[in-house]
């Protein structure tokens, strides 16, 4: 059995999870990464996606949907600070549609202001990421 490490998932409103786990799969800004015990210290920003936990407490949620934020990976512990987070089982199509349309509005505003800016590209990526998660989770 792999060594365990402390994992915390907190959103501004509450602490969602705090337990010993074997591995966490994190949707980092530049691609998914899996952190296990004694991972090199790393701070990364997150994109909207699904966070998966392996070897957590029995009965605890194993997958969470997060909308962004950042992760602080240090040897013995992983802390994910998510802007908004919820168990995957609570994700609904309406919720995703709301997030996507919010992101679209922001994208349109940026595009109309100054098209081709890095900010507009980032907004486009946000929309794409959200749509992918929606396809993955609620079909």
Binding site for another protein (CB under 8 A): 8, 10-15, 28-30, 40-45, 69-70, 72, 74-75, 79, 81, 83-84
Least distance between another protein and beta carbon 14 (Å): 4
User: Tokens at residue 114, please?
Assistant: 């100054």
Q: Residue 43 or 93: which CB sits closer to another protein? A: 43
Provide the minimum distance between the beta carbon of 13 and another protein in the complex, in angstroms, as a whole number: 6
- Partner residues linked to 52 by β-bridges: 25, 63
Nearer Cβ to another protein (9/50): 9
**Helix, strand or coil for residue 27?**
strand
DSSP string, 28-89: ETTEEEEEETTPPPEEEEE-SEEEEEES--TTS--EEEE-SEEEEEETTEEEEEESSEEEGG
Instruction: Give the span between the Cα atoms of 73 and 41, in whole angstroms.
Output: 5
Nearer to another protein, 12 or 135 (CB): 12
Residue 2 vs 12, nearer CB to another protein: 12
* Least distance CB 139 / another protein (angstroms): 26
Which CB atom, from 117 or from 135, has the smaller least distance to another protein? Answer: 117
| Closest-CA residue to 23 (of 65, 64, 51, 59) | 51
């Amino acid at each position: 059995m792999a060594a365990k490490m402390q994992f915390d998932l907190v959103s501004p409103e509450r602490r969602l999870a705090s337990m010993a786990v074997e591995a966490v799969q994190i949707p980092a800004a530049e691609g998914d990464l899996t952190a296990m015990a004694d991972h090199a210290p790393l701070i990364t920003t997150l994109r909207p996606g699904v966070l998966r936990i392996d070897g957590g407490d029995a009965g605890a949620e194993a997958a969470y949907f997060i909308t962004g934020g950042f992760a602080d990976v240090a040897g013995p512990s992983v802390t994910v600070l998510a802007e908004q987070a919820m168990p995957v089982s609570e994700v609904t199509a309406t919720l995703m549609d709301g997030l996507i349309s919010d992101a679209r509005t922001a994208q349109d505003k940026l595009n109309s202001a100054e098209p081709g800016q890095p900010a507009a590209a980032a907004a486009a990526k946000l929309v794409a990421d959200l749509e992918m998660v929606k396809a993955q989770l609620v079909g």
